[in-house]
Chain A
């Protein structure tokens, strides 16, 4: 097995799929000759040519709209949106077209578009390079929504996304592109080579869409989370001195309700955490689902930790980010409740 960071793993997923399936096409701003502003498509154009790894004009609506047409005509486009903060000009194409094509045509048409986009803060990117808009996409009905938390899953899930005939929006938490991040910005950066999920097969494999993973078993409390906060939650549980079961949701839609239910029935306590804003966020869906499924097993109210309900402020990145302290405080609150 090879050691890969998340950028290399994502690159490898596209490489494997471009090789295996001649209908796979990669497109996006700066993805071709340059290899992407985060280098996720580095070397792919040289290897597969300009007709398969295509630079695009700066028009997200155009990228997604044309990807839909490319998909309808038998190819399998993987479109990059340079930052999730810039996906909105393409939102109409996603919500009104991509998400509904199969439904409105009685199942006759579909377009297997995968949209990759870096999300999340922690890189001093200010309010236009830090957003986590995943909940907007899960709300649409008809969009598979995925966010991996490590290189192994990133590659396996991206391969599943590309192979899927359904449209997938694939969020890449950019803070953990180069290494896991436990939420403490003052600690030296840690590379993925120190983490078991930095070991990634070089060839083809897949991680199924719709399957959560218990990343740390425990008995006191279930922490349901995804993306960067998976790592923050693990350290926060240690900080709080609690034996937490940490679940990485991985796939927000479809949601693996079974894994959540089994865990919460066992622990009786639950914390939901994500980096995105809280109000109307995906945490509300998780908390409600768990409440509906496990109410009679719960020993305490479910808590949520999330980004504050403001845009991501440049100067207050670490007061905004739901770091270890906030997650630990919420864990304690759930543990101390009757």
Chain B
């Protein structure tokens, strides 16, 4: 302490050229954290926000109370979906580099978040994703072709050419329209959950934001409303350590985990190993059960690492060590689940190679089909006059005039 106030500027543990250092990140041993009953009082389980729920240990063995004991078939679904997500991402990233799409966002290294959480929820539960939750769409069967057509803004684009790539939605699959404006979906999820409770249904809502986005006021509005009305909602913070160039300390993660952000409002928080599919599944299932039985909201912090650049517009070598991901103590979610399945005798490296090839073929075939509906440079194209639709339910007079003006200009 000094006799003057001092402006504190949070500092990441390492910058380019320095050794990665994750000593700031507390990690509990697998199996070490107890699993309370779903009706536990928030004040009795505050430790869950500070420790880290982990099931898979370093030898890929599942340990402790939180082991969800998934059937081998479910494990395979999880692995297939994660591999498919990564393969899809790699392909779309490449397509952006080749100028086939304008923009892309990968979820590299974070696949267990969407896949594990999506699997733990029921089909009627409503999802409010961020732009890095493509695994949710892949899991719920939105379809690779539909997703690619969105990225291509082509004639089969679900957004009718109006949105930047990756801003998907799936009304039937109950996944809300992604917004480019950070954290706005958080209060939407709470409102959806409030309506579910008002209507007396037992569907829950789940929403995702990044660590950086928790600084937005909408995040805090959502927590307040969720707490006040005890809404059946699962509020997820994907702490991938970075928000473009600023590390998680800039969103207030320096002194308390993000999972603890709701404790002051009485919202239980669970900090979980976000690269451990089994742990991710288990905590989500716990929160969903609790919400469905009238226990209200849960805040889950998924600790993971953004393995790639923020987006195709970003160059992370300017602000973080290039080998940081390799040093991340929670490893790679795909490798860890694969290791576990091999250890349990349900899987092998051979099967893994086959799966990877199968997924590549699937993605290739989907791409060929998607581009048959048009690309940015080759038709068929959407009709530009459709841009005037959907501003309001019915087109207003002034838009009709503008539409006519545009059509007159064409010839």
Contacts and interface: CB of A to CB of B under 8 A. Distances in A.
Contacts of B143: none
B7 interface: yes
B116 interface: no
B261 to A, nearest CB: 13
A205 interface: no
Nearest to A320: B387
Interface in B227-254: 243-246, 250-252
Interface string B170-199: 000000000111100000000000000000
A35 B246 CA distance: 11
B182 A127 contact: no
Interface stretch (B118-126, B213-221, B342-350): B213-221
B295 interface: no
A126 B102 CA distance: 10
B181 A86 contact: yes
B313 A128 contact: no
Interface stretch (B30-38, B58-66, B156-164, B360-368): B156-164
Q: Which of A85, A279, A315, A319 has the most CB of B within 10 A?
A: A315
A60 B376 CA distance: 33
Contacts of A125: 164
The 4 lowest CB-CB distance pairs between A and B, nearest first, are A315-B161, A128-B180, A126-B164, A34-B245
Interface stretch (A50-58, A135-143, A236-244): A50-58
Given A57-B215, A59-B215, A314 B163 contact: yes
A29 B246 contact: yes
B344 to A, nearest CB: 41
Contacts of A22: none
Contacts of A29: 244, 246
A59 B216 contact: yes
Contacts of B286: none
B243 A58 contact: yes
B251 A57 contact: yes
Given A37-B244, A315-B162, A316-B161, A62 B402 contact: no
Nearest to B213: A58
Interface in A284-314: 308-311, 313-314
A58 B180 contact: no
B384 interface: yes
Contacts of A261: none
Interface of A: 29-30, 33-35, 37, 50-51, 54-62, 85-86, 88-89, 124-129, 278-279, 308-311, 313-316, 319-320, 325-326, 329
Given A51-B9, A329-B409, A314 B216 contact: no
A33 B250 CA distance: 12
Contact of A30 (B160, B217, B245): B245
Contacts of A37: 244, 313-314
A326 B409 CA distance: 7
Contacts of B409: 325-326, 329
Contact of A62 (B164, B215, B318, B381): B215
Contacts of B7: 51
Contacts of B216: 58-61, 89
B212 A58 contact: yes
A48 to B, nearest CB: 13
Contacts of A60: 216
B384 A319 contact: yes
B319 interface: yes
A128 B398 contact: no
A37 B102 CA distance: 17
A127 B163 contact: yes
B244 A34 contact: yes
B149 to A, nearest CB: 11
Q: Which of A35, A50, A314 has the most CB of B within 10 A?
A: A314
B24 to A, nearest CB: 17
Contacts of A56: 250
Given A85-B180, A89-B217, A315-B382, A310 B103 contact: no
Contact of A309 (B160, B180, B314, B402): B402
Contact of A314 (B102, B212, B398): B102
B153 A314 contact: yes
Contacts of A51: 7, 9
A314 B158 CA distance: 13
